[in-house]
């Protein structure tokens, strides 16, 4: 129903009135009125410049209740009918799995792209990389685009870490490790089983985090135990660095789920529980055995970031900490600007599912993940033995351990980093 008082207005992120400008609000439909959409997606949409035109669910009562609860104009049980009858700029899709465990996005997203309607849809986006390649072909013939709900790619903490690890100060990335307490099933293709469903649902978080920060590895080797615990080692030929993924289902369910550490060149950064960042910039450890203070000489010291959870700041809400708002706002902004997303699009989805597919190989085998041609890496051995001279008496020094040299003449001990 038209209302002349508000027809030319929409609400901003602070609940303020903003005049429509022909770009915002974006007219959207929503497919899937389930638990996840109720708890995490609709709760974030109140901050996004959209007009919710219609909602759709196979359960007519749920569609009607969501329409009433979230202020949609119409409710449907057939998404194709919704698309035909409503003038939509974009559609959000959260439909989960079929009874056989198959993610149900492929036919819905294909239909929307073929009708030139941009679509944001939840993860996991497909059963495998091949299904994403099928969607890419459809998208290439459409004037619309698709974005996948890889919230990790938009988390404020992940965005900050990406900025730091690609800075000149952090230097060349040398290694990383990522921990997540999900079990690796014997057969990841058995997505009808509970372990197979857990793995595809959770591992895309691990993979999307890795892809956005470090890129797709070229090789992967893994070992699984009877408990489903696993360690995977990854090699990135471009940059010549290594990493590991630790899948640890035996961890306490009371502990934070995730831990990430990336090591650069005399620098490293950690992320705990998705909110606590600790950055240790390049510095020199003071000499072993003779240092009287634990405070380093680095004038800046380490940096720590995290929310404070006291004030009513938007960043203290889960919708913002977990990246839900940021990914949905990015999608809507791209739709309004008539441009394809560069983050969490189908190209990123293909990389994520390639990494997922890698765990369908044989244990203890080297699996080629990135099939693109790779540049060769020249290797050098920097660990060349040296004969340092004692700064105290100019005597000959020997390597006492992996960190310190000792003078054969006067006994002076000096850290290797000081020579």
Q: What is the pLDDT of residues 48-84, one digit of tens each?
A: 999 999 999 999 999 999 999 999 999 999 999 999 9
Check residue 268 and give its pLDDT. Answer: 97
Maximum CA extent, the chain: 94
Q: Does the pLDDT of residue 318 top 50, yes or no?
A: yes
Q: Which helix (H) or strand (E) holds 105?
A: helix 105-114
d(CA 374, CA 326): 33
Q: Does the pLDDT of residue 366 top 80, yes or no?
A: no
d(CA 139, CA 125): 14
- What three-state secondary structure class fits 70? helix
Strand pairing partners for 90?
A: 28, 118
Query: Does residue 369 contact residue 238 with C-beta atoms inside 8 Å?
Result: no
Percent of the chain with pLDDT over 90: 75
Check residue 364 and give its pLDDT. Answer: 54
Name residue, tokens 């014997």.
186
Nearest to 261 by CA among 182, 161, 160, 171: 161
**Residue 358 pLDDT grade (very low, low, confident, very high; cuts 50, 70, 90):** very high
Q: What is the pLDDT of residues 367-389, one digit of tens each?
A: 677 766 444 444 344 444 567 89
List, in order of start, the domains of the chain with CATH numbers: 9-152 (3.40.50.720), 154-310+348-368 (3.30.360.10), 383-419 (no CATH)
Check residue 300 and give its pLDDT. Answer: 74
Name residue, tokens 């105290």.
392
Q: What's the first-to-final CA gap in the chain, in angstroms?
A: 79
Least confident of 35-39, 86-90, 103-107, 407-411: 407-411
Q: Does the pLDDT of residue 93 top 50, yes or no?
A: yes
Strand pairing partners for 404?
A: 415
d(CA 124, CA 96): 8
Q: What string of DSSP letters covers 139-177?
A: HHTSSS-EEE--GGGG-HHHHHHHHHHTSTTT-S--EEE
| Mean pLDDT, the chain, whole residue set | 91
Q: What is the pLDDT of residues 12-36, one digit of tens each?
A: 999 999 999 989 999 999 999 999 9
Q: Does the pLDDT of residue 184 top 90, yes or no?
A: yes
Check residue 402 and give its pLDDT. Answer: 62
Averaged pLDDT for residues 123-134: 96
Neighbours of 21 (CB within 10 A): 11
* pTM, two decimal places: 0.88
**Residue 412 pLDDT grade (very low, low, confident, very high; cuts 50, 70, 90):** confident
Buried b (16+ CB within 10 A) or exposed e, 61-94: ebbbbbbeebebeebbeebeebbeebebbbbbbb
């Amino acid at each position: 129903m038209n209302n002349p008082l508000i027809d030319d207005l929409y609400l901003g992120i602070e609940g303020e009135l903003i005049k429509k400008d022909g770009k915002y609000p974006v007219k959207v439909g929503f497919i899937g009125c389930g638990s996840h959409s109720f708890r995490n997606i609709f709760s974030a949409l109140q901050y996004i410049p959209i007009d919710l035109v219609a909602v759709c669910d196979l359960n007519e009562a749920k569609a009607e209740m969501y329409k009433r609860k979230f202020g949609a104009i119409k409710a449907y049980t057939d998404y194709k009918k919704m698309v035909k009858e409503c003038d939509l700029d974009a559609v959000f899709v959260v439909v989960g799995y079929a009874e056989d465990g198959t993610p149900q996005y492929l036919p819905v997203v294909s239909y929307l792209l073929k009708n030139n309607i941009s679509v944001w849809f939840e993860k996991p986006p497909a059963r495998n990389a091949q299904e994403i390649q099928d969607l890419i072909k459809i998208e290439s013939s459409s004037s619309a685009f698709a974005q996948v709900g890889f919230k990790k790619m938009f988390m404020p903490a992940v965005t900050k870490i990406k900025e730091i690890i690609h800075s000149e100060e952090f230097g060349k990335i040398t290694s990383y490790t990522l921990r997540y307490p999900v079990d690796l099933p014997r057969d990841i293709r058995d997505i009808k089983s509970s372990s197979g469903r857990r793995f595809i649902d959770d591992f895309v978080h691990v993979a999307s985090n890795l892809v956005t920060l470090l890129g797709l590895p070229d090789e992967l080797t893994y070992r699984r135990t009877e408990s489903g615990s696993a360690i995977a080692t990854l090699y990135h030929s471009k940059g010549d660095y290594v990493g590991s993924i630790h899948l640890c289902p035996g961890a306490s369910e009371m502990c934070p789920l995730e831990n990430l550490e990336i090591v650069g060149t005399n620098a490293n950064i950690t992320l705990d529980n998705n909110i606590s960042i600790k950055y240790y910039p390049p510095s020199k450890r003071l000499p072993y055995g003779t240092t009287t203070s634990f405070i380093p000489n680095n004038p800046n010291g380490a940096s720590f970031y995290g929310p404070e959870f006291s004030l009513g700041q938007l960043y203290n809400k889960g919708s913002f900490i977990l990246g839900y708002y940021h990914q949905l706002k990015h999608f809507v902004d791209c739709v309004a600007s008539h441009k394809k997303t560069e983050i969490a699009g189908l190209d990123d989805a293909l990389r994520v599912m390639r990494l997922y597919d890698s765990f369908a190989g044989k244990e203890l085998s080297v699996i080629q993940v990135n099939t693109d041609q790779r540049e060769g890496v020249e290797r050098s051995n920097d660990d060349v033995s040296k004969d340092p001279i004692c700064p105290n008496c100019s005597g000959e020094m020997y390597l006492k351990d992996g960190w310190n040299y000792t003078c054969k003449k006067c006994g002076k001990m000096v850290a290797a980093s000081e020579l």
